[in-house]
Structure 1
Amino acid sequence: MPTPSAHLHLPLLRNGPAPLPFPVPAPAARSRSSELAGLPARRDRVWDLSPNLHCSVVGTCLTTAELRQLFAKLNDPDARTASDHTLHGRAVRAAGQKDVAGKLLNKLLDKRHEGPVKRFAKARTTAEVRALWREALERGDIPGAYWAVLTHPATDQGLVQEVFGEVHMLSHLVGMSNRADIARLRHLEQELGGRDEKIARQEARLQQMAAEREALARRVEELEHARHNAAARPLQVGDGEDPAPVLKRRLTDEQARSAVLAERLAAQEQVIARQDDKMLRLKEDVAALGSELASLEAALAGPDEDASETAEGAPDLQGRRLLYVGGRPKQVEQLRALARRFGGELLSHDGGIEDNVALLPGLLSQSDIAFFPVDCVSHHAAGQVKRLCRETDKPFLPLRSASLASFVAAIGRLDGALATP
């Protein structure tokens, strides 16, 4: 049986882990032979399977969207509004009935997993079926292979118990991984929402300051105009009064007022310049978060039919080796699983906390590129990575943060980084 870490990234249950019963269910009522002699003329139908298998078949092999379409065809009045759990329960009940609903459900399963069913149809013995199951398990092609194994004429009781137990345990592993990814996505969405609100407040403040600056500019213009008019008007002085001191006093007052307004205007312009810089940085952060979130969503979407193919929009490492220095120790296995999923291999070093820094040159010599999250690595370790990469003429990519999203986004830019020494 594959190690659990080899399957943390597999799109096993597209609706989340289905609840699986214990003890391990008995096989179908008819006996299954591991040899060609005595094989039934056809595969099992869903209602031929043990009722204890129906829950795992529905939860593993079909999506909630497919169940909604099925019950819509059956004119179920709340097929579009019923909860996922309700639809699952109805499908499990329908699986045990040889009626219209059961036949449509069986037809949907055969059509949905036509490829794996045809591939397993070439097997003539229990050993051959088990070998095909092992291959599918290694590729992560669980839903189709599970349906093909359970309904194959050569599948015996031992093989049913074996595949059921493996699917049950994988569902736990995938459920834990999905919950962690969903929590991280929600955190990113909340962080983006907070950034958007902050930018909106900054933009409102900038608009207010711009209005104040325009008002000040108009006031300065009015004062200049008033001074010009005052200079043009004949000076009203009393009989025998010297006009020079009066003009000088008025000029001094206007100059003092202009100086005060100029200082206020300069201060406001400095504040606006700082706010402009701050808003630009916030927009850059939001753009980076949005790009990382999009990369993570594309990576988590997974393939629909064949798990050996990379999902559209997901990167392809093409067998490259990556070195990850620093980061959070609890995330290393998840990063390693993502690298395997994208067709590569991840080597790691904690930056000198427990791992010896002297190991870095050897690890880098085995790698094509080095990564380190700038928010979760020591200055010494980051400097060592940069120096070693320059000495060995290998590229390195600083990551914005130690999150999975930053790692996935950086992998998406890997071709450009490897093209630039």
Structure 2
Amino acid sequence: MPTQPRLLPPAASVSLLVPPASRQAQVIGEKTGAQRLKTWDIPTTFHCSIIGTCLTNGELRQILLKAGQEDAKTATDHSLHGRGVRLAGQRDQAAKLLNKALDKRHEAAIKRIPRQADEAALRCIWRESFDRGDIAGPYWALMSHPATPPALVRDIFGEVHMLSHLVGSASRLDIARLTQLEKELGIERDKTARQEMRLKAAAEERIALQQRLRQMEERAVNAEALAAHAQRPRSEDIALPGRADTEDTRAGLLARRLKETEDRYGALQRELEQLQDLSHSILRENETLEAIIAAEDGHGAKHVIPQQSGPVLYVGGRRNLFDHLRACAENRNVDLLLHDGGMEDSTTLLPALVGQAATILFPVDHISHAAVGLVKRLCREQGKSYLPLRSAGLASFLAAISGAGGAYGRL
């Protein structure tokens, strides 16, 4: 995935970075006309923001390599940025390569701006581009446009500069959230590994029980044959009346053992199905977490999903996770209502909350039976759907609001 253009590193003050209007007008006025401004025609104050916003590190590295700087292959991003800023103020072949790369990368934005546009038209183009998040191309196109007035140059520079502050702050929050998700994913992976071991053991036990069941069936068939044979009137039976009773007793014992084995086999079969359902639920939650981490690691920004049909009510769970639940819901455009199931919040609030919500969630491992019964009754009375969650962790909640938690229930 191509690296997104970086924004200008925050500085102490925009007003201190922008040169006086008279000097800026003099520099830009020298190049007004048909020619677009080169980087060395633009005041050096703006070189840092142009290089940081309008070129990626990969593109800048290629330019420096073409300029003969072989050590650019291993240079850090900060070192690349500094070299690019210095290169922008030169008038040599390397600076021409830099200008060519900027014009080629942002050719579409340059063509959209008329050469004879006045200040009002240029300002309108910048505002529309900024509002839709298209920063890099219009920024270079306007900074290098021969008709851009100094006042507009200062304004767009200031907006890009302040935007870099916001991006830095958001990045720190994203890193913290990503770290928390990675921890959750590690815990869920450990649970999955243990669950797979239990499933494997249960499968082996099931095979062993099937073998024992076949042996018991064979013995039961033999016992029935012996019992039928024992019922035939024979002379030795007359002589030995206790022999038939012995065979009948043995057949009854074998039948009881067979019944017990079948019952245990059925119980193990049901337990295995429950474990398989639990394993599938954990795997779905892991897939959801991995998709979220991959998306945030690749884009470094919020990924908002379309809002569901109405608010989601979360009943029960751990109160120390409520802030995380709110953050996850807000990040996915979900209107979340919270109630701790009666620990501190009054249960008299539940009817009104259920009435507001379109869907009700509750973790089965961290809610009282009384609260579950009340929630189900209210959902049944008001015709609302509910979804029991496997646990009170963030993983189960994320899987539910991301569509990986399965179908909602209704009683």
Compute the TM-score of the two structures, normalised by the length of structure 1.
Answer: 0.61
**Within 2, Cα distance between the matches of 1:90 and 1:377?**
55
Partners of 2:185 and 2:286 within 8 A in 1: no
Change beyond 3 A, Cα 1:115–1:17: closer
Q: What SS does structure 1 have at the residue aligned with 2:76?
A: helix
Matching of residue 256 in structure 1 with residue 253 in structure 2: yes
Partners of 2:8 and 2:49 within 8 A in 1: yes
**Within 2, Cα distance between the matches of 1:140 and 1:377?**
44
Partners of 1:113 and 1:147 within 8 A in 2: yes
2:277 to 277, 280, 292: 280
**Within 1, Cα distance between the matches of 2:331 and 2:112?**
27
Change beyond 3 A, Cα 1:255–1:104: farther
**Within 1, Cα distance between the matches of 2:69 and 2:240?**
99
Q: Deviations over 1:87-135 (max 9, x none)?
A: 4532541343255655444433333333433445568455654444343
Gaps of 5+ in 1: 1-12, 234-238, 340-345
User: Could you tell me which amino acid in structure 2 is paired with residue 40 of structure 1?
Assistant: T
Matching of residue 202 in structure 1 with residue 192 in structure 2: no
**Within 2, Cα distance between the matches of 1:372 and 1:321?**
12
User: Could you tell me which amino acid in structure 2 is paired with residue 141 of structure 1?
Assistant: D
Change beyond 3 A, Cα 1:145–1:335: farther
Q: Shift in Å at residue 197 of structure 1?
A: 1.6
Q: Deviations over 1:276-327 (max 9, x none)?
A: 1231133134325535754786699679xxx9xx99xx7556xx99545569
Change beyond 3 A, Cα 1:150–1:15: closer
User: Could you tell me which amino acid in structure 1 is paired with residue 80 of structure 2?
Assistant: R
Partners of 2:36 and 2:145 within 8 A in 1: yes
**Within 1, Cα distance between the matches of 2:249 and 2:125?**
97
Counterpart in the other structure of 1:140: 133
User: Could you tell me which amino acid in structure 1 is paired with residue 84 of structure 2?
Assistant: A
**Within 1, Cα distance between the matches of 2:376 and 2:257?**
50
Q: What SS does structure 1 have at the residue aligned with 2:174?
A: helix
**Within 2, Cα distance between the matches of 1:271 and 1:328?**
38
Counterpart in the other structure of 2:318: none
**Within 1, Cα distance between the matches of 2:158 and 2:97?**
28
Alignment of 1:200-349 (within 5 A): 200-224=196-220, 227=223, 242-253=239-250, 255-257=252-254, 259-260=256-257, 262-287=259-284, 290-291=287-288, 294=291, 323=311, 325=313, 328-329=322-323, 332=326, 335-336=329-330, 339=333
Q: Deviations over 1:236-271 (max 9, x none)?
A: xxx999444245335534543553354244224302
Q: Answer 1 or 2: which has greater helix percent.
A: 2
Partners of 1:351 and 1:377 within 8 A in 2: no
Matching of residue 178 in structure 1 with residue 174 in structure 2: yes
Change beyond 3 A, Cα 1:125–1:77: same
Partners of 1:370 and 1:385 within 8 A in 2: no
Gaps of 5+ in 2: 231-235, 315-320
Q: Deviations over 1:171-207 (max 9, x none)?
A: 2233134224423542454355235424422331232
Change beyond 3 A, Cα 1:221–1:260: closer
Matching of residue 113 in structure 1 with residue 127 in structure 2: no
Partners of 1:58 and 1:92 within 8 A in 2: no
Which is higher, the Rg of structure 1 or of structure 2?
A: 2
**Within 1, Cα distance between the matches of 2:4 and 2:377?**
42
Partners of 2:223 and 2:251 within 8 A in 1: yes
Counterpart in the other structure of 1:159: 155
Question: What is the number of equivalent residue pairs in this alignment?
Answer: 371
**Within 2, Cα distance between the matches of 1:336 and 1:101?**
47
**Within 1, Cα distance between the matches of 2:193 and 2:29?**
71
CA RMSD in angstroms, aligned pairs only: 5.7
**Within 1, Cα distance between the matches of 2:270 and 2:313?**
37
1:96 to 60, 81, 86: 86
**Within 2, Cα distance between the matches of 1:123 and 1:407?**
55
Change beyond 3 A, Cα 1:134–1:271: same
User: Could you tell me which amino acid in structure 2 is paired with residue 33 of structure 1?
Assistant: A
User: Could you tell me which amino acid in structure 1 is paired with residue 281 of structure 2?
Assistant: E
Partners of 1:17 and 1:175 within 8 A in 2: no
Ranked by relative contact order (alpha carbons within 8 Å, sequence separation 6 or more), the top structure is 1
**Within 2, Cα distance between the matches of 1:268 and 1:152?**
81
Partners of 2:39 and 2:99 within 8 A in 1: yes
Q: Deviations over 1:379-405 (max 9, x none)?
A: 699789969986xxxx87869687784
User: Could you tell me which amino acid in structure 2 is paired with residue 409 of structure 1?
Assistant: S
Aligned-pair identity (%): 19
**Within 1, Cα distance between the matches of 2:311 and 2:298?**
25
Q: What SS does structure 1 have at the residue aligned with 2:402?
A: helix
**Within 1, Cα distance between the matches of 2:197 and 2:190?**
11
Partners of 2:37 and 2:144 within 8 A in 1: yes
**Within 2, Cα distance between the matches of 1:240 and 1:332?**
82
**Within 2, Cα distance between the matches of 1:296 and 1:180?**
12
User: Could you tell me which amino acid in structure 2 is paired with residue 93 of structure 1?
Assistant: R
Partners of 1:325 and 1:350 within 8 A in 2: yes
Q: What SS does structure 2 have at the residue aligned with 1:33?
A: helix
**Within 2, Cα distance between the matches of 1:71 and 1:267?**
74
**Within 1, Cα distance between the matches of 2:170 and 2:100?**
27
Q: What SS does structure 2 have at the residue aligned with 1:218?
A: helix
Q: Shift in Å at residue 208 of structure 1?
A: 0.7
Q: Deviations over 1:219-241 (max 9, x none)?
A: 314534664787779xxxxx999
